Amino acid sequence: MLKGEARKRGTRATRSVSSPTGSLGLDPHALFLLVLVGILFVLMSLTMPQQFLTVANLESMAFQMSEIGILTVAMALAMLIGGIDLSVTAIANLSSITAGLVMVHLTKPGDPSPLVLSIVVLGIVVAITVGLLCGLMNGLLVGRVGVPAILATLGTLTLYTGLAFGITKGRPVHGVPNPVLFLGIGKFLGIPMPLVVFLVVLAFVSIALNHTPYGFRVYLLGSNPTAARFCGIDNPGIILRTHLIAGLLSAITGIVTLARINSAHADYGSSYILTTILVAVLGGVAVTGGSGRVGGIALALVTLQMLSTGFNMLLLRFSGSNFFRDFAWGFLLLFVMVFSRISQQSAPRMWWRRILSRH
């Protein structure tokens, strides 16, 4: 019954429900992003061909953006149910630290390969367990106890970062055995491994959101929690599951990061929270929950990665080009949100505005 109604398009009430035709579709927002990506690609290839259009550069972009990508999917899930998860980077750090500690302390350089491999697997399992436990705590606090998501994840962020600092005494963990590094800097059929992981994650989450009852309920819950409750949806259960998945994805991010830079630190990536929110919002995730697609996130990710690379190349002569990126991201986040809000509010007379607002 419900799936059939989901196929209806056009009315505002059902616009937020994902269509079963998949995550890219003919959504105007996605189309806009696709065009933007195309324009940026052409622009950068024309102005800086020798720097931009090289395999090395494209690969480096793929490596960088995959971590943020997986983390963004975690954040986006939390946003879809109408909340937020400020602790994703902390969970990633804690997971990578625990995995790193296991791998470093249980292996020695001369150990036989099967032993090393099994310790690596153990490390990954430990990291995933940590991520799930952290997500469980988040889910229980927000779902069962009823603490608002901002506050709950603020508290858990502090707690998890504190644990990470306490365990490592503030020092980075490094020196993981070689097999794990393949995950971070290796290539599978020519595609960088982090990107492979990211694409797998995208596929799974997309299927979960678009083709399972769970995904359907996520969108309902995010659109209108009260109505969802009265429809018989187990709100606390969905919240719990979502935060569990977010914790899992954060742990995966931590593992990939550890594999890529061979180092885990309690403080890593604290500025990534803003970036993940920016990617999510640019990708079409509504800030109040209830709508947003995984495909949009992927496109937004590519857009921002190209912008970031572009900034780096242009501003190489100035010191602190990272700071310009912080400024640009903040500005862009505000701009995108304001623009979305404006195009939502009025009945626009301009034809191009109408196209953009028809989602």
Partner 1 sequence: MVKQIAQTHEFLIAVTIVFLSIVIGSINPAYFSVANLFDMLRNVTIYGILAMGTLVVLISGGIDVSFPAIAAATSYLAVKILIATGYQGPTWLPFLLALPFGLLLGMLNATIISWFRLPALIVTLGTASMTYGFVLFFIGNLTLYNLPAGMVSYRTMSLMTVRDPLVGTSSLHPSVLLLGAAVLGVWILLRFTLIGRGIYALGGNREAAERSGFNVRLIEYVVYSLAGVLASIAGVIQVVLYRNANPAALMGTELDVIAAVVLGGASITGGRGTVIGAGLGLILVTILKSGLTLVGISSEWQKVAIGIALILGASIPAIRMARRNWPMTSTLLE
160 binds partner 1 (CB under 8 A): yes
* Residue nearer to partner 1 on the CB measure, 87 or 210: 87
281 binds partner 1 (CB under 8 A): yes
Give the x-and-dash track for 39-68 against partner 1 (CB under 8 A). Answer: ------------------------------
188 binds partner 1 (CB under 8 A): no
143 binds partner 1 (CB under 8 A): yes
Query: Which residue of 35, 53, 334, 350 would you call a contact of partner 1, by CB under 8 A?
Result: 334
Q: How far is the CB of 6 from partner 1 (least distance, A)?
A: 22
Instruction: Name the residue with tokens 């935060």.
Output: 243
* Residue nearer to partner 1 on the CB measure, 11 or 319: 319
- Among positions 284-323, residues that touch partner 1 (CB under 8 A) are 287-288, 318-321, 323
94 binds partner 1 (CB under 8 A): no
* Residue nearer to partner 1 on the CB measure, 83 or 194: 83
Q: Mark the segment that binds partner 1 (CB under 8 A) among 94-102, 181-189, 245-253, 336-344.
A: 336-344
* Residue nearer to partner 1 on the CB measure, 188 or 331: 331
38 binds partner 1 (CB under 8 A): no
Q: How many residues bind partner 1 (CB under 8 A)?
A: 61
CA 233 to chain centre: 26
Radius of gyration of the chain (CA): 21
Query: Which residue of 75, 205, 248, 273 would you call a contact of partner 1, by CB under 8 A?
Result: 273
Bridge partners, 191 (sequence order) = 188
Query: Which residue of 77, 80, 84, 282 would you call a contact of partner 1, by CB under 8 A?
Result: 84
Measured at the CA of 254, the angle between CA 249 and CA 257, to 5 degrees, comes to: 125
152 binds partner 1 (CB under 8 A): yes
* Residue nearer to partner 1 on the CB measure, 261 or 328: 328
Q: Mark the segment that binds partner 1 (CB under 8 A) among 28-36, 40-48, 126-134, 165-173.
A: 165-173
- Alpha-carbon distance of 80 to 59, in angstroms, equals 31
* Residue nearer to partner 1 on the CB measure, 49 or 162: 162
Token pair for 22: 């998949």
23 binds partner 1 (CB under 8 A): no
Q: How many CB atoms lie within 10 A of CB 314?
A: 14
Bridge partners, 173 (sequence order) = 264
Q: How far is the CB of 327 from partner 1 (least distance, A)?
A: 3
Chain residues binding partner 1 by CB under 8 A are 82, 84, 141-148, 150-152, 154-163, 165-166, 169-170, 221, 225-226, 229, 235-236, 239, 270-271, 273-274, 277, 281, 287-288, 318-321, 323-331, 333-334, 337-338, 341-342
